[in-house]
Amino acid sequence: MKFSVLLIYVSVILLFSCQQNNERKLPVLSKYKVENGDTIYQKIPSFQFTTQDSLLYGSEQLKNKVHVADFIFTSCPGICPVMTSQMQRLQEMTKEYPSFQIVSFTVDPDRDTPFKLKKYALSHRADLSRWVFLTAPMDSIYKVGIEGYYLGMQKDSTEPGGYLHSGRFVLIDKEGLIRGYYDGTNANDVNRLANDLKVLLQE
């Protein structure tokens, strides 16, 4: 009798927890404007860049897919190695979501050729079916990074490696809207990203 009561109690708790998780929604963090009473959010702008395999990749390939983006460069002596290590950990934590994409943009396209990006990707055990490394003319990358993902980046000769850039990961939904920012150098924050991703994929 006591076992039956305990089983019912546990079932109710689990059901309540599932309902809470399903009801949780991530905020939309994209800029917006109001027109005729409707809120119109700004989406990540369209782009088409070059992958580590010298293939074209961009908005069309990300259409209707949730993705996480970051901005790094392969010769970075600062935060990039930690960011890429955490992104590799995120890749392992999200194996059950084959349609989820990871996109790493270089902020140093002059030096980061597709060949160099491919070498960097393989050295960090990137699954290139789910994690892509992109290069393009600098003005194009910076336009998408600053005006699309709202991340700071610039050339800076006083910085190690010559570039100053954000260490944040950005979570984007299927509509191209920003749903979260996370410290890419902090394991706990990346764990939070993995949990938020599960919520977003259930929407």
pLDDT digits (tens, 9 = 90+) for 91-114: 999 999 988 999 999 999 999 999
Position 3 scores a pLDDT of 38
User: Which strand (E) or helix (H) includes residue 114?
Assistant: helix 114-123
Residues 18, 19, 20, 24, Cα dihedral to 10°: 100
pTM of the predicted model, to two decimals?
A: 0.86
Q: Where are the domains of the chain?
A: 2-28, 38-201
Position 22 scores a pLDDT of 54
Rounded percentage of the chain residues whose pLDDT exceeds 90: 75
Q: pLDDT tens, 133-155?
A: 999 999 999 999 999 999 999 98
- pLDDT at residue 38 is higher than 90: no
Q: Phi, psi (5° rounding) for residue 129?
A: -80, -15
Average pLDDT, the chain: 89
Position 23 scores a pLDDT of 72
More confident residue, 141 or 36: 141
What is the domain class of 38-201 according to CATH? alpha beta
Rounded percentage of the chain residues whose pLDDT exceeds 70: 89
Position 33 scores a pLDDT of 84
Which range (54-58, 158-162, 168-172, 196-200) has the least confidence?
158-162
More confident residue, 6 or 96: 96
- What are the distances in angstroms from CA 65 to CA 13, 117, 148? 32, 23, 17
Q: pLDDT tens, 41-54?
A: 899 999 999 999 99
Report the C-alpha gap between 192 and 169 in whole angstroms: 11
